[in-house]
Structure 1
Amino acid sequence: MQENLPRKAACIGGGVIGAGWVARLLLAGVDVSVFDPAPDAERVVREVLANAEHATARLISAPLPPQGTLSFASSIEAAVEGADFIQESVPERLDLKRRILGAIDAAAPADALIGSSTSGLLPTDLQAEMSHPGRLFVAHPFNPVYLLPLVELVAGGRTAPESMERAVALYGAIGMKPVVIRREIEAFVGDRLLEALWREALWLVNDDVATTEEIDDIIRYSFGLRWAQMGLFETYRIAGGEPGMRHFLAQFGPALKWPWTKLMDVPDLDDAFIEKIASQSDEQAQGRGVRTLERIRDDNLVGIIRALAAEQGGKGWGAGALLREHEARLRAAAEPAPAGEPLRLMEGEVDAAWIDYNGHMTESRYLQVFGETTDALLARIGAGADYVAGGRSFYTVETHIRHLSETKQGEAFHTTTQILGTDAKRIRVMHRFHGGDGTLRATAEQMLLHVDMGAGRASRATPEVLEAIAAIAGPQRALPIPPEAGRGISDLR
């Protein structure tokens, strides 16, 4: 996947969405040049990037590539020079976008892809003033771009099929879930669904049925939680009970003809109604600024996505499954440790939820991190999810953890692994947990036993896995045995 990353990207427009694209690309290791004539564009981009760095460090446990270089250009022409991918994110006005895309098209290298961030404008209309329309497509993300992985890709009437193929590969390489929309329609799919809910919400406020906060509470305490993992149709399939979707539609389908909705109408957005919504929204924010709200939102999204990553026996579900796949690609693409050195398998930032009543990282979270480090080692030797699906696995049969120093909330960390011994059925490993300053904070010694799950007993690992273990363990034999190896709990008797 890493070969699909652009060498250099240009982001034209540095607002909320544009800055999100900048952050997503930089954290994927891509150099980005930004053009936005707004006087505060650089400040906004750097503030959004800071939030993205905070969130990504807590979201992704695999080693990230070196961050790309950020630069700010004085013109579109300077920004797109040498870029093989351009993401346009200027305001949602057809005339403005056509003019900007025309300038990008005239200055960009001939083989550069051009994605337009629009919430509903048709790509065919956007192509109207381009000399090379075959490389233009819509790439509609969701905010925050650096955390939410979906991007809707829409081809215009003159978009080349190979441009769409390249776009799918490119967005996948930066950890996104590209969905190609089958037909060119106004507002695409995501915003059409959101628009229906938004219209109903406006009517409910207009008619004094509920306030903005009450409507948000109804969403976030109920179906919003369901949608995060299963979306709409699968949620309703479950609601149909054992007979599934057919029963659900038979039972609730007639309600669709009842006059419940004002779907095709909208309240008059006059000054009084706008002030009503705005004042309720201000009260709901409780004085918190936009960057604070973004940080709260990001922290919550990280927690939800990481929880989804732990589902389905560690394979993940929804956005969590995508995260695990992306982390596996990052580990595979990471610079390998020199032969004979401990492997660096996991890194991240200590989450607020990991802190105990003493104000430092609690012991259960060390076990979690060491367990995920073991998972990364098993994936490295070819004993990951596919291997388990084949009926074989390594079970952790013994663990000894030593806590050497406190680790605080927000601290960076990484883990390293040394293989202390192996045979055909066992691997003895020593994991180390290092703080951001490199100091050793904790260690875990583990014994892993290879098991034939169908037979329910220990067995020899496959030749391929044994060969992969030997390739790591052989050179590491020259390392000194850690002083904590083989240690037990001190005897106080």
Structure 2
Amino acid sequence: MAIDRDYLRRQGAVGIVGLGTIGQRWAAAFRHAGLDVRAYDPDPSRAAAFDAAFPALLADVEALHGPAPALGAFVFSGDLGAALAGVTFVQENGPERLDLKQALLAEIERHVDDDVVIASSSSALIVSEMQRACARPGRIVLGHPFNPAHLMPLVEIVGGAATAPETVATARAFYEAIGRKPVVLNREVTGHLALRLMGAMWREAIALVRDGVASVEDIDRAFVYGPGPKWTLQGSFISNHLNADGIDAFLVKYGPTYQAIWDDLGDAMLDRETIATVSSSLRDTLGARSDDDLRAERDRGLVKILKAVSEDGAL
């Protein structure tokens, strides 16, 4: 997860459109990498909110990547054209509504040069649909971060039907230069990669709670102290490859077991009764702990885990 400052020195300023939770964390990561940030948000109070949050966000990033030799500058404007003047890359973080994304992306491209890549942080929308109103849809791409976006290395990249291959390559090189671990999807699917994987596991977790098999605490504990550490370091395929004499042997030996599990998996529906059951079990797990304390513990722990993954991870 090393930051390529030589590459970044050749880049111009980065544009941030939308300075909410995700935009602020992108801005912190970009500034730590030495990139000047030019930000836009229709809500002028977001600038002060970022100024207040930045010291803590920067401390998190420095704990993971080390102190920045020089921070990038930060400029905020409530005028989109003024904010994006001269930028060489745009990270869009607008609301997760297709009509708004279409209008926003079309407006962004009117204020940047023709060769500027515009990456959307959308978590679930399809790029082919988002880029339809754009005059130059070839430079629109997904650049979806994982929460908390200033720390998590994953960025999911996927182009739409009209996205040029060089746009995807440029986006990948850019995210790698700021120390991220990008993945490129060969085609569009709802939810991209990570959310689909999480969704599959979480559907079963919710079904197990709903059906009274185990509590929220014990289900999460089973993952955290079971596959979690190994999958964090090596992923599921390499981990299972090492659980036998290679992946072929693993699939032959344990295939019937997994097939039996797959045939028996639950099909969770988020009806009111299920939501109430999950919420009650989670409240029992949390006890008196506050969300702020849990977030702080999470972010401190993430730094330690990600350092270990950087040193000993297989991917």
Q: Shorter-chain TM-score: what band?
A: 0.7 to 0.9
Q: Is the 8 A contact 1:205 1:211 kept in 2?
A: yes
Give the structure 1 partner of residue 161 of structure 2.
157
**Residues 210 and 16 of structure 1, relative CA distance in 2, 3 Å threshold:** farther
**1:407-422 alignment runs, 5 A limit:** none
Mean CA deviation greater in 204-213 or 83-92: 204-213
Aligned residues: 308
**1:344-355 alignment runs, 5 A limit:** none
Q: Is the 8 A contact 2:44 2:78 kept in 1?
A: no
In the alignment, structure 2 segments of 5+ residues that lack a partner are none
**1:38-437 alignment runs, 5 A limit:** 38=43, 41-42=46-47, 44-46=49-51, 48-61=53-66, 64-240=68-244, 243-258=245-260, 259-262=263-266, 265-270=267-272, 272-311=273-312, 317-318=313-314
Superposed displacement of residue 108, structure 1: 2.1
User: Larger relative contact order (C-alpha < 8 A, sep ≥ 6)?
Assistant: 2
Distance 1:55 1:318 in 2: 24
Letter in 2 for 1:14: L
Q: Is the 8 A contact 1:20 1:48 kept in 2?
A: no
Superposed displacement of residue 47, structure 1: 5.4
Superposed displacement of residue 146, structure 1: 1.8
**Residues 126 and 305 of structure 1, relative CA distance in 2, 3 Å threshold:** same
Distance 2:188 2:149 in 1: 22
**Residues 238 and 112 of structure 1, relative CA distance in 2, 3 Å threshold:** same
Provide Cα deviations, 1:114-153, integer angstroms capped at 9, x if missing partner.
0011223221111100011111101121112222212111
Superposed displacement of residue 310, structure 1: 4.2
**Residues 224 and 9 of structure 1, relative CA distance in 2, 3 Å threshold:** same
Distance 1:87 1:188 in 2: 18
Distance 2:148 2:106 in 1: 27
In the alignment, structure 1 segments of 5+ residues that lack a partner are 312-316, 320-493
Q: 1:19 aligns with which of 4, 20, 24?
A: 24
**Residues 168 and 288 of structure 1, relative CA distance in 2, 3 Å threshold:** same
Distance 1:185 1:303 in 2: 32
Q: Secondary structure of 1:144's partner?
A: coil
Provide Cα deviations, 1:155-197, integer angstroms capped at 9, x if missing partner.
1111122222221221111111222212222222222111101
Percent of matched pairs sharing the same residue: 35
Distance 2:60 2:153 in 1: 14
Displacement over 6 Å in runs of 4+ = none
Superposed displacement of residue 88, structure 1: 0.9
**Residues 37 and 289 of structure 1, relative CA distance in 2, 3 Å threshold:** farther
Letter in 2 for 1:254: P
Provide Cα deviations, 1:75-106, integer angstroms capped at 9, x if missing partner.
33332222111111223221121121111112
Superposed displacement of residue 40, structure 1: 5.5
Distance 1:3 1:269 in 2: 52
**Residues 230 and 283 of structure 1, relative CA distance in 2, 3 Å threshold:** same
Structure with greater proportional strand content: 1
Q: Is the 8 A contact 2:5 2:34 kept in 1?
A: no
Provide Cα deviations, 1:279-303, integer angstroms capped at 9, x if missing partner.
4444544455544333211211111
Q: Secondary structure of 1:108's partner?
A: coil
Q: Secondary structure of 1:157's partner?
A: coil
Structure with greater proportional helix content: 2
Distance 1:236 1:48 in 2: 41
Superposed displacement of residue 46, structure 1: 4.2
Distance 1:167 1:239 in 2: 36
Letter in 2 for 1:148: M
**Residues 171 and 239 of structure 1, relative CA distance in 2, 3 Å threshold:** same
Letter in 2 for 1:203: A
Mean CA deviation greater in 221-230 or 285-294: 285-294
Superposed displacement of residue 38, structure 1: 4.6
